[in-house]
A and B are shown apart, each in its own frame.
Chain A
Amino acid sequence: MRVGIDLGSRTIKVAAMCNGQLVDHQLAESGFDPYGQSMAMIKKYEAEKIVATGYGRHLAQEHFAQEVITEIKAHAIGARHFFPDCRTVIDIGGQDSKVISLDEQGRVANFQMNDKCAAGTSRFLEIMAATLGFRLDEFGPAALESQNEANINSMCTVFAESEVISMKNRGIPRKDIARAVHLSVVNRLVIMLSRVGFGRKIVFSGGVARNPCIVHMLHEWLGEAKVESSPAPDLIGAIGAAIHAGKC
């Protein structure tokens, strides 16, 4: 058995694979002790090899992982596992978002990552949902219902939050503000997609791939290119790491 573990800033994901098949997976909050949390998650496996990725990858390597790869490479491998001909991967993580372009063989050819702030990340969506009193799973569907154009101009989470508060206080319905929040994340992705370039098939990984409003807005902007959401978007990085660990 080969195990991939993705120690993200918000959640830890584990994928256990055998003969190219996902045989087990887990997802848990990273919490305040990512090391303890990951140990609890992996102890049930008799793994021949563990490969770690994500922000905590080096912590994992100090204690139990045999190898580390970056989340860029892990997502590239994971996305190709589900869509062997994809050339572009979007990943929205807890504290960064990235667009990765792949060559024909699936190797990373180029990538863009957001700067050192939370704008355009899933953390940004969480904070904005809380400000507007939505549960995270209602946030995307609510935004999708809005027909009214509103815009958030600030790219900074702190300033964007002030902007959202002033919109609330102008009496703008929260659905419309939710739509504006989603649009600002998509605009951010569009800039990165334009810089990296993209193919006709784009794989969307990370939990935000389940947000129907983001996916809808991306489709509107992309035109002919198609966004593919994988069956397990949260697990793509962990699966990529497990595949990198080799065959068994």
Chain B
Amino acid sequence: MSSTAFEVKAYPEMWESLNMDVPRFDKARQMLGEVYGKMYLSQPDRPQNMAYFDEMISEIFGGRIKEMLDVKKTGKPVVGTFCVYIPEEIVVAAGGICVGLCGGSQGPIPDAEKILPRNICPMVKSAYGFKAGRICPYFQIVDFVYGETTCDAKKKTWEILDRLVPTYVMEIPQMKNKRDKTLWLEEVKDFKAKVEEVCKTSISANDLAGAIKVINDKRRALQRLTGIRSANPAPISGKDALLIEQIAFYDEPVRFAQKVNALCVELEHRIANGEGVAPAAAPRVMVSGTPMALPNWKVHNLVETAGAVIVNEESCIGTRYFKDLIDENTSDIDSQLEVLTDRYMQIDCSCFTPNNERVDQVLKEYKDSNAQGILHYSLQFCHTYNIEEIKIREACEKEGIPYLSIESDYSPEDVGQLQTRIEAFLEQIRG
């Protein structure tokens, strides 16, 4: 496929039926196709099994939406989320669909700034703008949104977003004491009750066991891919791997895991033959920090265009989403909810204090991925990650790990400066 041939497919009638701003959305669709063609299809030596994920982008506003509408017709809900804390196993157990909502592009930010303050997280503004501007089909088909209290910008925006789409909120504890776990377990139970109410069903232990297995399998497939990326030369680009981690939030989980595993087989073959997408001498960079929601490929594109390869994302759209699994050896619903809660309490989001386990996790992933430097990425105004960055930097200094910290948003205006900083960082790694 040449880079000019790529197109994100248009479904204007379906979009009309979803009450979208079709003319405006169609422009965004064309732009996404162009950017994807340029940034993705131009990469050399892409694995053949990336074809499925190209197709997922091609059908991002069409085929996948149709599948979700079909599930909705059976009376099951589509639940929109913004955070890896929302226990998708429970939605899947009820037969519903959990989807990570749009929030990764600059386009809707002016819509959001008509209402929300300017100086808040670009992801929150982008997400709100997608709904306000009616330019995200996923936002249009969700039955409700489940937000959380991981940060101030989000938790207060939910109150405003609720005017446009029903928005519920889970309270995420901010510490990891025993009483915090008790609170979280209660929140998980409330979440289950809400999902059961909407689905007019009761989730059995059997349903939940099945869903735990499905989502564990998805996370295992992503773990396998991460392990494979430790090989040198890198068998897959960081951009492609990030794309897969992004698609994990809207694809059908069973099929997704199969496709990731099929890709892994191909990549293992590449490793056996010593083949890669970049020379073995290419600097290997690990990214750590805030999530990069689709289509935020800004940093990966800059780093890989400069001749390096990204080998790991220590991020919510990355290892934080899939590093932990749920114990599958429980059979009654109460103990299932207990082990589910345990798993979710292991997430090392910077909203917790203290959160020293994240520093250890970053160093562990650095070693596991055979990286040669860490690039810390924080979205503008993400106070918790921006401040926790101090500890990550200190740990890197102590270990002698080349380190660069970037704070950025979705706008293109800082690309020149970022490019200089990233290239200087790569010069440091190359020595």
Interface residues of A (CB under 8 A from B): 55, 69-73, 95-96, 107-109, 111, 113, 115-116
Contact = CB atoms under 8 A, between A and B. Distances in A.
B407 A70 contact: no
Interface of B: 407-408, 413-414, 416-417, 420-421, 423-424, 427-428, 431
B427 A116 contact: no
Given A70-B424, A111-B424, A115-B407, A55 B431 contact: no
A70 B424 CA distance: 6
Contacts of A69: 427
A55 B407 contact: no
A107 B420 contact: no
22 contacts: A55-B420, A70-B423, A70-B424, A70-B427, A71-B420, A72-B424, A72-B427, A73-B424, A96-B417, A96-B420, A107-B428, A107-B431, A108-B427, A109-B428, A111-B424, A113-B417, A113-B420, A113-B421, A115-B414, A115-B417, A116-B408, A116-B413
Contacts of B414: 115-116
B399 to A, nearest CB: 15
A117 to B, nearest CB: 9
B424 A108 contact: yes
Given A96-B420, A108-B424, A109-B428, 9 more contacts: A70-B423, A70-B427, A72-B424, A95-B417, A107-B428, A108-B427, A113-B421, A115-B414, A116-B417
Contact of A108 (B407, B420, B428): B428
Contacts of B428: 107-109
A71 B421 CA distance: 9
Contacts of A116: 408, 413-414, 417
The 8 nearest A-B residue pairs measured at CB: A116-B414, A72-B424, A70-B424, A70-B423, A73-B427, A70-B420, A108-B428, A113-B421
A115 B406 CA distance: 9
A17 B428 CA distance: 25
A96 B421 CA distance: 11
A70 B307 CA distance: 14
Contacts of A55: 416, 420
Given A107-B431, A115-B407, A72 B417 contact: no
Contacts of B420: 55, 70-72, 96, 113
Nearest to A9: B416
A108 B426 CA distance: 11
Contacts of B421: 72, 111, 113
Contacts of B417: 95-96, 113, 115-116
B186 to A, nearest CB: 42
A119 to B, nearest CB: 13
A101 B357 CA distance: 30
A53 to B, nearest CB: 10
Contacts of B416: 55
A72 B424 CA distance: 6
Most buried by A among B408, B414, B416: B416
A69 B307 CA distance: 13
A70 B426 CA distance: 10
